[in-house]
Amino acid sequence: MNIIKKNKILIADDILENLQLLVSIFQKENYEILIAKNGRDAFNIAINENPDLILLDVNMPFKNGFEVCEELQAIPSTKQIPIIFLTALSETANEEKGLSLGAVDFIRKPFSPEIVLARVKNHLELKTYRDNLEELVKAKMQEKDEVQRMTIDALAILAEYRDNETGGHIQRTKNYVKALAEYLQKQDKFKSYLTDDVIEMLYNSAPLHDIGKVAIKDNVLLKPGKLTDDEMGEMKMHAYYGYKALDDAEQHSKCESFLTIAKEMAFTHHERYDGEGYPTGIAGEDIPLSGRLMAVADVYDALISKRVYKTPIAHSKSVEIIISEKGKAFDPDIVDAFIVLQEDFRLIALANTDFKSEQDALNA
């Protein structure tokens, strides 16, 4: 059985007769009534009870109504509570002050019960509509984010299937990247850039780092043996193809999005810190952080994974290889983070292994 929630109204007035009159008006309307006889109590009750609406006298002991309104407006949890001033003050300046502080209405005493009741009902309906709209927008945004994540994963899985790899690679690499980013977020050098939102975009973008492989010919992409120089040149083009596809998609969207990071990552995750990588040979911190993060994540995963041309390499040996490339293939700061997080990497990999041989390598 659905229980209809009663609207909760706080009435704050230091005159007993006014309180009694207002209570008698609202008792017939099935409202829950809270009472305060001074500004200090009104403020405390509003903080603790979070009423749906406040009827607030201006001239009260301890705190006047303007002070109470201003203080409640400064607190996120009470900022959205509609406040209606009830006052004997008649100057327009007082009404302007109350509305400027965030009140939604201003009713002068002596007041008509019918007018008070009608205005309260109107503002409660507006609040209910606003609250429901906020929840609807939040739900739609969550739905949009989930569809976006599912679309990204679906596209990434298509790329991995063409490369004889599996979805485990996608899950592992995006979690490696997130672990590294969250660790670096605590350091002064990175914390201004690595906000929670950016880390979330890195996590969501990571599955697209190899999307350019869909444009590589099968005889190159699926070749089990060593590639010729020409074939290797073609394979290296996947970084550019991925960047171009994501850049085109971003241009068509006509707005900044997670694709900015996704295309950076696709284009630069094979660059090396010493400048010996591809496709452009940029070096050091000229390589976007997204690419430098994915470089470590991608190589570690390639080492511990089974491929048609190799067996998995033990976790301990893979860690040694990553460390040996500090300052050469990889950003030293990111390698330092990897050293601290190496057990986290192993556990992430174990949770998303595709083959028994990979589990054995990770436990070796």
Q: What is the CATH number of the domain that holds 56?
A: 3.40.50.2300
Q: In this structure, how many other beta carbons lie within 10 angstroms of the beta carbon of residue 94?
A: 17
Most confident of 27-31, 223-227, 247-251: 223-227
Q: In this structure, how many other beta carbons lie within 10 angstroms of the beta carbon of residue 310?
A: 10
Whether 141 is in a domain gets the answer no
Cα four-point dihedral sign 49, 53, 59, 64 = positive
Mean confidence (pLDDT) of the chain: 84
Whether 154 is in a domain gets the answer no
pLDDT tens digit sequence for 304-320: 988 777 889 999 999 99
pLDDT above 90: residue 77: no
Whether 62 is in a domain gets the answer yes
Same domain, 203 and 110: no
Between 246 and 348, the higher pLDDT residue: 348
The range of the structural domain enclosing residue 321 comes to: 163-363
Size (the chain), residues: 364
pLDDT of residue 1: 41
pLDDT of residue 259: 80
Same domain, 179 and 310: yes
- Domain count of the fold of the chain: 2
Indicate the burial class of 283 (C-beta count within 10 angstroms; 0-12, 13-18, 19 or more): middle
Cα 157 to Cα 144, 213, 311, distances in angstroms: 20, 11, 22
Final residue in a domain of this structure, among 94, 119, 134? 134
Full-model pTM? 0.61
35-38 contacts, C-beta under 8 A, 24 or more apart: 35/10, 35/11, 36/10, 36/11, 36/12, 37/12, 37/13, 37/61, 38/12, 38/14, 38/62, 38/63
pLDDT above 80: residue 159: no
Same domain, 104 and 179: no
Same domain, 99 and 172: no
Between 71 and 249, the higher pLDDT residue: 71
Between 248 and 253, the higher pLDDT residue: 248
Same domain, 81 and 188: no
3-class secondary structure, 231: helix
pLDDT tens digit sequence for 17-47: 878 887 887 777 778 888 888 888 888 988 8
Same domain, 115 and 200: no
Alpha carbon distance 339, 362 (integer Å)? 16
Most confident of 72-76, 338-342, 352-356: 338-342
Q: What is the CATH number of the domain that holds 282?
A: 1.10.3210.10
3-class secondary structure, 129: helix
Same domain, 214 and 93: no
Q: What percent of the chain has pLDDT over 90?
A: 35
Same domain, 201 and 348: yes
pLDDT tens digit sequence for 109-145: 777 777 778 877 878 788 777 777 767 766 666 666 6
Same domain, 289 and 216: yes
pLDDT above 80: residue 328: yes
pLDDT of residue 2: 46
The token duo for 105 is: 């209405």
Whether 157 is in a domain gets the answer no
Same domain, 277 and 210: yes
Whether 237 is in a domain gets the answer yes
Whether 152 is in a domain gets the answer no
pLDDT tens digit sequence for 272-283: 999 999 999 999
Whether 220 is in a domain gets the answer yes
Cα 219 to Cα 5, 222, 226, distances in angstroms: 66, 6, 12
Mean pLDDT of 241-246: 88
| Confidence tier at 344 by pLDDT (50, 70, 90) | very high
Between 327 and 52, the higher pLDDT residue: 327
Q: CA nearest 6: which of 182, 164, 105, 128?
A: 128
Q: In this structure, how many other beta carbons lie within 10 angstroms of the beta carbon of residue 306?
A: 18
Same domain, 97 and 219: no
Whether 14 is in a domain gets the answer yes
Same domain, 116 and 238: no
Give the E-state strand segments of the chain in sequence order.
Answer: 8-12, 32-36, 53-57, 83-87, 105-108
Q: What percent of the chain has pLDDT over 70?
A: 85
pLDDT of residue 232: 92
